[in-house]
Amino acid sequence: MIVPTYNEKGNMALLIPAVCRVLNESRIPFEVLVMDDDSPDGTAKEVRRLAEDHPEARVVVRKEERGLSPAVIEGFNEARGRIYLVMDADLSHPIEALPEMYRAITEGGADIVVGSRHTMGGGIVDWPLHRKVISWGASSLARPLTRCSDPMSGFFAVRPEVVEGAPLRPRGYKILLEVLVKGKYERVEEVPITFRDREVGESKLGTGVIFNYLRHLFSLYMFPGSAPLLKFLLVGGSGMIIDLALAWALVSVLGDNTFDLLGWEDIRFFYLFQTVSFLYAVTWNFVLNRYWTFDARAGKSGEQYVKFFTVAVFALILRSFLMVILVEHLGFSGVPLYQLAQVVVIVIVTVLNFLGSRFWAFRK
């Protein structure tokens, strides 16, 4: 167990004996590793006093790079167990959930277990309305990054392999979200918990915490491979703009003089310009998707490009085919049926394009 602390002396005498009792009764081998940011209230001294009766507890006093997330990451390096569990010191997390979270990994095969307030059976008590609104807003902003319903939770357990070698950059209080985005795992399980507000000490929530969270969130969205669907849509939109802009530029620059010089009909140049702009847009999309959307740098770029181009051409042909079916055979003509047909076709083709790119062109 990794417990990051700052000025939590009053909670240590309650937390450590209760944790030791629950885990000893469940016959779970453990240590309680308190990562203290050199608290002036004597938190470290209190832990050492408690360790006389509870030898499973020990404290590491930190004097550099203070903060919850750095404390947890340093705790990963200090911990001796085969499962790392992170828990707040303020008794807001239910201690009785510890055995279930332990078994979810050792028996259930999960790589990450989250004590979730938002999954079925979970909840929050003793929170004012503004805290609930802030929590809901923070979770909603992070939703494209993970399928976990409570990525803001400070109560979670992981296998060591999940975080070993992961490029974790500690910032703010939401270390779980960092692990969910950058960790190496396959299965996440959520255990419902009832979250209670602290009874001893003061909350760390403030405007500075909110600002740091927003900065952290932005950095995670920019991290290669995170929120792939959202990035795929953004890249696709940028590629469409490039496609249209380049085709227009070619027509404007070359113009009728080139048509006359080569003796080509306008329609032949139109197809040529459209082909050039399409190839350029596909290449643009390929580069961004390879390095940013899916982070597929480990694969062979040439092979990936051929597959990505194949998917793009198939999507283009499928789009034309579906429009012909809807407009000419099913009667989707005129306003607003034609526009509705366009929306339906774009959604279908985009989904297929994304699946083809993720699970074939950029498959790891």
Residue by residue, pLDDT tens for the chain (364 residues) are: 999 999 999 999 999 999 999 999 999 999 999 999 999 999 999 999 999 999 999 999 999 888 889 999 999 999 999 999 999 999 999 999 999 999 999 999 999 999 999 899 998 887 778 877 888 888 889 989 999 999 989 999 999 999 999 999 877 677 999 999 999 999 999 999 999 876 555 555 557 778 888 888 999 999 999 999 999 999 999 999 998 888 788 777 765 555 554 454 555 666 677 788 889 999 999 999 999 999 999 899 999 999 999 999 999 899 889 988 988 888 887 778 888 888 888 899 999 999 999 999 999 7
> Which conformational region is residue 172 in: left (phi greater than 0), alpha (psi within -120 to 50 degrees), or beta?
left
Residue 45: the pLDDT is 97
- Euclidean distance between CA atoms 217 and 362, whole angstroms: 25
Specify the pTM: 0.84
Residue 50 burial (C-beta neighbours within 10 Å; 0-12, 13-18, 19+):
buried
Query: What's the pLDDT score for residue 273?
Result: 74
Instruction: Give the chain's largest Cα–Cα span.
Output: 95
Instruction: Supply 251's token pair.
Output: 């027509």
Distance CA 116, CA 139 (A): 12
The helix (H) or strand (E) run that includes residue 116 is strand 112-116
What is the Cα–Cα distance from 107 to 77, expressed in whole angstroms?
24
- At residue 316, the pLDDT reads 87
The pLDDT of residue 353 is: 94
Joined together, the tokens standing for residue 168 give 């974790």
Question: What is the number of other CB atoms lying within 10 angstroms of the CB of residue 190?
Answer: 24
The rounded distance, in Å, linking the Cα atoms of 117 and 94 is 11
**DSSP state string for 22-44:** HHHHTT----EEEEE---TT-HH
Give residue for tokens 């200090």.
78
Q: Determine the Cα–Cα distance for residues 158 and 176; give it in Å rounded to an integer.
A: 10
Distance from the Cα of residue 80 to its chain's centroid: 27
CA distance 270 to 276: 10
What is the residue type of 213? Y
Question: Check: CATH 3.40.50.300 for 2-222?
Answer: no
- Token reading at 293: 């959307």
The full set of domain ranges for the chain reads: 2-222, 228-361
Check: CB of residue 180 under 8 Å from CB of residue 188: yes
Q: What sign has the CA pseudo-torsion 293, 299, 301, 303?
A: negative
